[in-house]
């Protein structure tokens, strides 16, 4: 198995072979081939033959190419690079093919992996076979002027081998092309779902192993999930519903609870990209959000009776601004609590067009609620927190990669270079250079986060490759581990598997321990989507957010998986529900699935601030909080007399502004690490 590792400077004699710039593949065939390492000069990119297909990126604005034939003398690891000091400030793109003129096969390529100058130079590496013909082609997408390139030969530096876990493949025949791995029948086991316009094909996981296939005929869906598929129980009947995101509109397939579905399609034009089920207004009912490629984003608010009402961000009646750029560019939405204030925020990975259109966005939840429990507003603040990057990306992977209790992010490049951003109290720092993620030069559209080897450190799945995490913001890259697809535990052994096409990638696992958690909401949405789950052990805390829709296209498990490494006990699990309820489960079992129902456990008192005094009471605008221990940094939540959350903020001082509340009786809860104190007060 080939591993991509850091490119090092190899000491070699720079040989100048006789091949010159060739304008076509046929001219390259007629010229003397390159047979070893050397330095070469591209006079200009003005050849009449463009690449037949583009190994990286697309053919927009490409009008010419320059061709070189390369025949290595022996099996070796070859690198072609324009990352040279004399090219500083340049912008190149290279494609590498095998085969014959007229029947070429992409083997590799690169656009922007370089660091010199503006970072737009190219570095492409691959294993090559001695005596086999390869074609190195530069196109003029970014630059038609001359530059130098160099070929290195030699094995890459040694790295760890084998990978921490291995995947074995088997075939499961499915009907349809759009995929999900999610529980469809309420037994908390992940099933395989595949969609056509008139059929939902489900392979139900058997608790004893294997699958039972069932085909559900549906109406001819107005829109099929050609761009994305999301799943969640939006009518709260205990059975999973589906969202189909197409290039023309959105269809909802609502489960009737008897393995039939009822179709609901909007009439609105929506060029769907990533879609999610999420409780946008935090009223306990699942809503739906859909990124729009060519217009402002759209969402569907649940009226509480299972009816989804359409809004577009720029509409006069739209309650929230969730991405209003006029020409869209919205690709990969994901809902996470990045600032640890116990409510959901949304990051959008953006792509295409002018810089403003492709600049990533963070829509931060302000955490304030009106008396009918609707969120007042979101604020787009990516620039303020360091995430407003105009890179080309279709999706991002969010997780606590350094196990310090907050969500970091891997922003996956669809072209160019990936980025790893560390969360420092809600502000993000670029740690790519020291992380090892830049050794992954392959780009694409799918990125997601799981602990594949259950060592307690989150890993990243990026376009079939896995970056295995060390728990300190560093990663080791293993390429070609599995396919893009959906993730979940498909054999109930506690290790994350994958499925795509008709291939089941079974994670063979290891001796590490684990726990699998299913969240069942009561006051919150029934799936617990948006809940923060914390698993506390002697070695620290592992955090996860329950979410529907990550990566770009596929739908993955709604169960929460946490690897424990060699830990053989769990102190407690804390679940922070969207409703504001906190469950604290003491000493749960390991190496099995645990179902946590909202509100089933007793609260744990925070004895540090048991002396808390609040005044004035009754209060008009501000409540002061007095304790021997500062409450700054703790979460203050206010509930009305019906138990609904009406205010939620992270305290910056020892006071709380309650001026937005209506007159009446309330309960104030101060929470820290799952421990709480409560006080009653009256708002005048």
The DSSP letter of residue 131 is T
CB contact burial 303-342 (16+ within 10 A = b; e otherwise):
eeebebebbbbeeeebbbebbbbeebbbbbbbbbbbbbbb
Integer distance in angstroms from the first to the last C-alpha of the chain? 69
Give how far the C-alpha of residue 114 lies from the chain's centroid of Cα atoms, to the nearest Å.
Answer: 24
Rg (CA), the chain: 27
The DSSP letter of residue 198 is T
Give the pLDDT confidence score for residue 311 in this predicted structure.
97
SS3 content of the chain, % helix, strand, coil (to 5): 5, 40, 55
Between the CA of residue 312 and those of 268, 282, 328, what are the distances in Å? 10, 18, 12
Segments of the chain scoring below 50 in pLDDT: 1-18, 157, 159, 371, 373
| Cα 309 from Cα 301, distance rounded (Å) | 5
Whether the CB-CB separation of 67 and 17 falls below 8 Å is answered with no
Give the pLDDT confidence score for residue 504 in this predicted structure.
95
Residue 353 burial by Cβ neighbours in a 10 Å radius (0-12, 13-18, 19+): middle
Nearest CA to 557 among 597, 517, 590, 524? 517
Give the pLDDT confidence score for residue 113 in this predicted structure.
74
Give the pLDDT confidence score for residue 381 in this predicted structure.
97
The residue with tokens 């620039």 is 383
Element (H, E) at 433: helix 432-435
Cβ neighbors of 294 (< 8 A, separation 6 or more) are 271, 327, 328
| Cα 675 from Cα 551, distance rounded (Å) | 33
Whether the CB-CB separation of 631 and 609 falls below 8 Å is answered with yes
For 454-495, where are the alpha helices, taking DSSP H only? none
3-state secondary structure 142-190: CCCCCEEEEEEECCCCCCCCCCCCCEEEEECCCCCCEEEEECCCCCCCC
The DSSP letter of residue 27 is H
Whether the CB-CB separation of 661 and 355 falls below 8 Å is answered with no
What token pair was written down for 298? 């759209």
Whether the CB-CB separation of 285 and 291 falls below 8 Å is answered with no
Cβ neighbors of 368 (< 8 A, separation 6 or more) are 375, 376, 377, 647, 648, 649, 660
Cβ neighbors of 147 (< 8 A, separation 6 or more) are 41, 42, 82, 86, 87, 90, 92
Give the pLDDT confidence score for residue 210 in this predicted structure.
92
| Cα 461 from Cα 457, distance rounded (Å) | 13
- The SS3 assignment for 435 reads helix
pLDDT tens figures, 493-528: 999 999 998 899 999 999 999 999 999 999 999 999
pTM of the full predicted structure?
Answer: 0.76
- Asked if the peptide bond before residue 162 counts as cis, ω within 30 degrees of 0, the response is yes
Residue 393 φ then ψ, to 5°: -150, 140
CA triplet 408, 413, 417: central angle to 5 degrees?
95
Cβ neighbors of 106 (< 8 A, separation 6 or more) are 53, 55, 95, 96, 97
Between the CA of residue 39 and those of 8, 112, 114, what are the distances in Å? 16, 20, 17
Length of the chain measured in residues: 684
Give the pLDDT confidence score for residue 115 in this predicted structure.
66
Cβ neighbors of 622 (< 8 A, separation 6 or more) are 655, 656, 657, 658, 659
CA within 13 Å, CB half, 438: 19
| Cα 227 from Cα 273, distance rounded (Å) | 6
Pairing of strands 287-292, 298-302: antiparallel
Residues forming beta bridges with residue 38, ordered by sequence position: 15, 151
DSSP 202-234: EEEEPTTSSEEEEEEE----SS--SSEEEEE-T
| Cα 493 from Cα 511, distance rounded (Å) | 11
Give the pLDDT confidence score for residue 362 in this predicted structure.
98
């Amino acid at each position: 198995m080939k591993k991509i590792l850091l490119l090092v400077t190899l000491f070699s004699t720079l040989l100048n072979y006789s091949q010159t710039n060739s304008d076509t593949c046929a001219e390259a065939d007629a010229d003397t081939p390159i047979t070893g390492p050397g330095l070469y000069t591209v006079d200009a990119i003005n050849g009449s033959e463009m690449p037949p297909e583009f190994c990286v990126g697309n053919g927009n604005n490409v009008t010419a190419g320059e061709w070189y034939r390369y025949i290595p003398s022996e099996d070796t690891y070859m690198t072609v690079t324009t990352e040279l000091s004399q090219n500083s400030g340049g912008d190149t793109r290279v494609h590498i093919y095998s085969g014959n003129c007229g029947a070429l096969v992409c083997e590799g390529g690169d656009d922007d992996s370089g660091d010199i100058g503006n970072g737009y130079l190219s570095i492409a590496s691959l294993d090559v076979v001695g005596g086999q013909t390869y074609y190195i082609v530069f196109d003029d997408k970014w630059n038609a002027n001359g530059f130098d390139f160099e070929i290195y030969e030699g094995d890459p530096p040694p790295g760890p081998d084998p990978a921490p876990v291995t995947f074995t493949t088997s075939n499961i025949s499915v009907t349809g092309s759009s995929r999900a791995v999610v529980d469809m029948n309420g037994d908390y086991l992940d099933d395989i779902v595949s969609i056509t316009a008139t059929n939902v094909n489900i392979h139900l996981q058997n608790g004893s192993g294997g699958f039972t296939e069932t085909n559900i005929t549906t109406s001819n869906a107005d829109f099929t999930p050609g761009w994305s598929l999301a799943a969640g129980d939006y009518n709260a009947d205990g059975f999973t519903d589906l969202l189909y995101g197409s290039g023309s509109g959105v269809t909802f397939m609502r489960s009737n609870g008897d393995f039939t579905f009822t179709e609901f399609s909007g009439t609105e034009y929506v060029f769907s990209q990533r879609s999610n089920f999420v409780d946008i207004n935090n009223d306990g009912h699942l809503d739906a959000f859909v990124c729009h490629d060519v217009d402002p984003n759209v969402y569907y608010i649940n009226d509480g009776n299972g009816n989804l009402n359409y809004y577009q961000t720029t509409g006069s009646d739209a309650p929230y601004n969730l991405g209003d750029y006029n020409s869209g560019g919205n690709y990969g939405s994901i809902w996470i609590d990045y600032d640890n204030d116990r409510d959901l925020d949304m990051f959008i990975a953006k792509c295409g067009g002018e810089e403003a259109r492709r600049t990533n966005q963070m829509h931060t939840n302000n955490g304030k609620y009106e008396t009918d429990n609707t969120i007042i507003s979101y604020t787009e603040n990516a620039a303020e927190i360091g995430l407003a990057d105009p890179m080309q990306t279709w999706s991002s992977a969010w997780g606590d990669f350094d196990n310090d209790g907050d969500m970091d992010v891997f922003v996956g490049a669809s072209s160019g270079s990936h980025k790893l951003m560390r969360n420092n109290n809600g502000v993000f720092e670029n740690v790519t250079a020291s992380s090892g993620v830049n050794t992954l030069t392959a780009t694409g559209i799918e990125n997601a986060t799981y602990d594949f080897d259950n060592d307690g450190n989150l890993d990243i799945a990026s376009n079939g490759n896995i970056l295995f995490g060390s728990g300190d913001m560093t990663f080791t890259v293993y390429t070609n581990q599995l396919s893009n697809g959906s993730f979940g535990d498909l054999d109930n052994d506690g290790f994350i598997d994958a499925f795509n096409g008709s291939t089941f990638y079974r994670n063979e696992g290891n001796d590490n321990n684990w726990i699998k958690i299913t969240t069942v909401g009561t006051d919150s949405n029934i799936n617990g989507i948006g809940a923060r789950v914390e698993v506390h052990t002697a070695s620290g805390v592992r955090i996860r957010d329950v979410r529907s829709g990550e990566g770009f296209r596929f739908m993955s498990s709604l169960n929460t998986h946490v690897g424990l490494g060699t830990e053989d006990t769990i102190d407690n699990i804390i679940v922070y529900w969207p409703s504001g309820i906190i469950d604290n489960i003491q000493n749960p079992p390991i190496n099995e699935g645990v179902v946590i129902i909202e509100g089933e456990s007793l609260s744990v008192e925070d004895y540090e601030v048991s002396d808390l005094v609040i005044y004035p009471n009754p209060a008009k605008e501000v409540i002061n909080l007095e304790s021997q221990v500062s409450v700054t940094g703790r979460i203050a939540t206010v509930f009305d007399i019906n138990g609904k959350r009406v205010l939620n903020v992270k305290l910056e001082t020892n006071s709380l502004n309650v001026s937005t509340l209506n007159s009446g009786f309330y309960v104030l809860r101060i929470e820290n690490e799952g421990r709480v104190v409560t006080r009653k007060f009256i708002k005048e």
